[in-house]
Every structure is written in C-alpha cells, then in structure tokens.
C-alpha cells in the first residue's frame, strides 16, 4: 500500500501521443494533438469530505493522513511523477455536431498500475481552466460533485458498469453557477471529485480525429485502445472485432441502466465510454414512477431525446456516430455497418434475459417475451414506483398465497388511485404472472434469490441527494454519511427508512425532479 504522494504514476497516454506541451489554458482549437498539458489551478483550502476506502484498497492506496496528500485530491499538489493533462475530443450533443469539446473541467493526473497489473487513470473534475473550458471556469460545485461522487459508487454496488469516484473534497472557494440557465446565478461552495477508470476515452476522442481527417492519429488511437484495453483482440480483422465488442458492451450497459431504472440525462457521444462504462454524471436520475418519457434534464426539453425509454435507441445512434468516425480506417463500410446492426439482437437478448431475472424466470421462452411486453404495458400505464413494485412482487412470490389481494398488496407502489380499468389490468397480469411462476421449473427459494439479486431495494433517489446537499451546506453531514453506507448494500433491507415513494413535495422542487446540464 502507498499514499498518493509517494505513489509512482505512469504516463502512457501522453508519452504515446502528440500533445500541446505549452501549458497555456487559453481557450482555443488544438488540431494535431490528442491532449494539452495543463496544471490544476490552486484553490483556497482543500478539505476531505469523502473517501472510498473500498476503491482505495483496489488501487492499493492508503487513506490520506496529511494535508499534502489531501492537497493532491484538490489539485493543490502535483507530484513529480504526475503529468496533468486535458484530453481533446469532440461530440454530437443532442443530435447535433458540436465540434471540438474536450476536458473543460477535468484534468487527468496520470495512471496508477496495481500489483495485479491493472492500470487506472486518475482524474480530477473541477480543478480549473483548460484549453477546452471555452467560456466556462473549469470549476465544479459541491452540488454537482456530491452527486457524481455518490452515484459513481452507487452504480458500482448496483452492478452497473461505471467509472468510479475515489474522493470528494471542498475547495474553500465560492463558484458562481446559474443552476437552471434562467438568469439567476448564485455563488455555491466549490468542490472537486477524483474520478477513476481504466480509461476515460470516449466516442468523441475518435470523432474529433475523423472530423479533422487526422487518419494517422486516428489509427494510432484505435491501435492503442485495443492494445491497452482489448488485448485479447488480435488478427487482421481486429478493428471490426473490436467495434463489435464496443457495441456489445454498450448494449449491456444500457440493459443494466434499464434494470435499475437509471436515466443518464445527457447521452451525447462525448459522454459515451469506449469501454461501455457509465461516464459523466450530470443531470441523471433514477425513475421513481415508471415513466418511459421521463427525462431529468431541463436542457432535454421539450424533445426528451434522452428520456428513460429512448436510451436504447440513442445508444445505437451514438454507436453509428462512432462507426462513422472509424470508417476512414475500414476498407469495406458494409462490414462496420453489419457490426453496428448486431446491436438490436444483442440488446434485446440481454434485455429479455434481464427482465426474466427480475421476474424470477429461470429461462426465457417466446411466450415469456410476449408476457414481458404485456407486463411492461401495465408498468407504463399505471406509472407505479418501479423499485417498490418489484420488491413487493418478490414478497408476493415468497408468500405463495393461493388467492392474494393483489391490489392491496401493491398499494404502496401506486402514486395515485387507480381507475377501474387499470385495477383490472394489474390484477389480470399479476394473476397470469403467478401462474407462470408455478410452472417455472425452479424451487421457490431459487426463484426468490434470483429476483432479489436482480432488483435493488435501495436506489439513490434525487430527493435524497438534494436533501443531503442542503444539509451539508448547513454543516450537517448526517444524511450524506448514511447515504454513503446505503449505496454499498442496495439489495438488502438494512436501510428501510429509504424504502418509500418519492414524497409529493419533491415532484416539482428544483433539484429533486429536474436538473440542468450544469448539475
């Protein structure tokens, strides 16, 4: 085990690719380079607010014990082996080409390699200006940083592919933010998250090189990505084989989002990880009531491009953008198009298997697929609380009653009184479901165990995040500390105080229902 100051960082990315070494943070275009060297801008006072002991053990790092170590987490200390830089990338935002974007408020410090040979990129989010900050300040606030820290770790414990968060620090500085872009900016406490992933390379890293017709750099980045992160892929057809695996990983990630009811909120191509990880936690949310048209992002209105139910289709659209960026390196465009078209079969096979797990089906038959489609129509029509409903479904299966009072059993998951037709729909589909469970082929204990590991009992609801932020700004860390424990055990019943529907006051309250891209 080592601490952050004594750890020796690798700098494989910057030594392999051309970069802008000037250190100049003036906003500008940076053609011909994949990154720009840039130092974090010092802050007033770095104070440790949260630290992931579990992730630190995986990184083989000790908890910070000195101010010098804490200062690394806030950018006030850069060790000799680090080489801070901001990556250059582009992207399609809300369906439109946005050109050069890049790390506007993120700076990578370097890579750590553990004794197992695993390499991790450590990155600060909110440490100050980079050449890609454009008109912004490169800073982050406590509100958005706390949300990213908690959700990164929450998704990990839910079993969803994700980047991680090692620490959350406050900076002692105030940062001005217009939370809803409505002309009402306010000063908020500054904060910085240290993010961790094998790599933060996105679809947009490839898009910028293709757009600039830097095919040599594009080929170099593809080869480096495969060699470092997909080393099992070899042979003459490796680009297509690699792209097909990116398609499969992306499909799998989206299925996991749908399993737990997660809505990313801003699925631009610059927010799509080349490893199929959930990346860039901004205006995200879990669904409370099951609403496929729900988007937590005010910037996504009125079109709702990134709504809960549209995420699978958007992922394929983004993969098509990646395919377009790779096409200069492909001799036969039909091959990469065929690889893209594998997405639908991969997604739906994974999706129906996932839904089967949530429902406790040990195998999926064509009849089950029809039933799942019927079942989802009920969820959409009634808009019941997704998390609570599936927990009550597990309880119903476990009770194994001959004639249960179905409507009464599920009453806790309803946000409103059901109409007579809706009551009949729910009763009919649950009755059919219970009959299917009797024919399952697995014993009751096995069925319930499958359902319990597939359906979380605790999710990090937006109103809880909002409450913890408000409390912290008043000096009360109690809820924040409790949420840090709850996210580590989302499939248990240890935190029953959070097993409740979204309260009515949170439906329209700013920061609880809708957020902006600055969140």
Q: Which two structure tokens, joined as six digits, stand for 143?
A: 């509100």
Asked if 241 is an active-site residue, the reply is no
In this structure, are residues 196 and 70 in contact, taking their beta carbons and an 8 Å threshold? no
Q: Is the peptide bond before 42 cis (omega within 30 degrees of 0)?
A: no
Give the residue among 202, 284, 301 at the shortest CA–CA distance from 250. Answer: 202
Kindly name the residue from 20, 270, 288, 385 that is annotated as catalytic: 270
DSSP class per residue in 181-199: SSS--EEEEEEEEEEEES-
In this structure, are residues 17 and 34 in contact, taking their beta carbons and an 8 Å threshold? yes
Which DSSP symbol is given to 515?
B
Contacts 24+ apart (CB under 8 A), 284-287: 284/147, 284/151, 285/462, 285/513, 285/515, 286/260, 286/261, 286/262, 286/387, 286/459, 286/460, 286/461, 286/462, 287/261, 287/263, 287/386
Residues 6+ apart with CB under 8 A from 232: none
Give the residue among 130, 133, 163, 129 at the shortest CA–CA distance from 149. Answer: 163
Task: Give the CB-side neighbour count of residue 231, counting CA atoms within 13 A.
Answer: 2
Query: 162 forms bridges with which residues in the sheet?
Result: 278
Residue 250, classed as helix, strand or coil, is: helix
Phi, psi of 440 (to 5 degrees): -70, -35
- The catalytic residues are 270
């Amino acid at each position: 085990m080592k601490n952050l100051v004594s750890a020796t960082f690798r700098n494989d990315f910057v030594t392999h690719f051309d970069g802008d070494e000037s250190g100049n943070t003036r906003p500008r275009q940076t053609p011909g380079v994949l990154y720009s060297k840039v130092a974090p801008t010092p802050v007033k006072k770095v104070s440790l607010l949260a630290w992931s002991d579990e992730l630190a053990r995986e990184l083989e790092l000790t908890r910070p014990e000195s101010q010098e170590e804490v200062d690394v987490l806030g950018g006030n200390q850069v060790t000799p082996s680090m080489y801070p830089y901001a990556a250059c990338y582009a992207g399609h935002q809300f369906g439109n080409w946005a050109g050069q974007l890049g790390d506007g408020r993120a700076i990578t410090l370097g890579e750590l390699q553990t004794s197992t040979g695993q390499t991790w990129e450590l990155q600060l989010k909110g440490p100050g200006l980079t050449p890609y900050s454009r008109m912004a300040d490169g800073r982050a606030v406590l509100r958005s940083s706390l949300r990213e820290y908690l959700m990164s770790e929450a998704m990990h414990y839910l079993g969803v592919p994700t980047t991680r968060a090692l620490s959350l620090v406050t900076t002692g500085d105030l940062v001005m933010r217009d939370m809803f872009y409505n002309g009402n900016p306010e000063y908020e406490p500054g904060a910085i998250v240290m993010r961790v992933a094998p790599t933060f390379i996105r679809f947009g890293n490839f898009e910028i090189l293709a757009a600039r017709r830097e095919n040599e750099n594009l080929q170099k980045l593809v080869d480096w990505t495969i060699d470092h992160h997909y080393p099992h892929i070899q042979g003459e057809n490796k680009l297509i084989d690699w792209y097909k695996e990116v398609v499969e990983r992306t499909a799998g990630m989206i299925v996991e989002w749908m399993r737990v009811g997660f809505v990313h909120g801003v699925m631009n191509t610059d927010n799509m990880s080349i490893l199929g990880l959930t990346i860039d936690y901004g205006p995200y949310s879990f669904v409370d009531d099951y609403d496929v048209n729900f988007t937590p992002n005010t910037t996504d209105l009125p079109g709702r491009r990134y709504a809960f139910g549209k995420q699978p289709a958007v992922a394929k659209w983004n993969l098509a953008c990646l395919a377009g960026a790779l096409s200069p390196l492909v001799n036969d465009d039909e091959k990469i198009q065929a690889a893209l078209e594998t997405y639908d079969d991969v997604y739906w096979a994974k999706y129906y298997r996932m839904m089967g797990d949530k429902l406790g089906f040990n195998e999926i038959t064509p009849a089950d697929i029809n039933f799942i489609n019927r079942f989802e129509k009920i969820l959409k029509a009634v808009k019941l609380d997704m998390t609570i409903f599936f927990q009550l479904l597990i309880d119903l299966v476990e009770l194994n009653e001959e004639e249960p009072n179905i409507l009464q059993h599920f009453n806790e998951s309803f946000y409103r009184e059901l109409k007579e037709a809706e009551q009949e729909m729910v009763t009919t589909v649950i009755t059919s479901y219970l009959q299917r469970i009797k024919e399952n082929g697995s014993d009751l204990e096995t069925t319930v165990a499958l359902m319990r590991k597939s359906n979380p009992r605790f999710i990090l609801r937006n109103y809880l995040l909002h409450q913890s932020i408000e409390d912290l700004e008043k000096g009360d860390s109690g809820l924040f500390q409790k949420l840090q424990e709850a996210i580590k055990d989302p499939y248990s019943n240890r935190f029953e105080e959070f097993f409740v529907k979204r309260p009515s006051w949170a439906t329209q309250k700013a920061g609880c229902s809708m957020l902006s891209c600055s969140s």
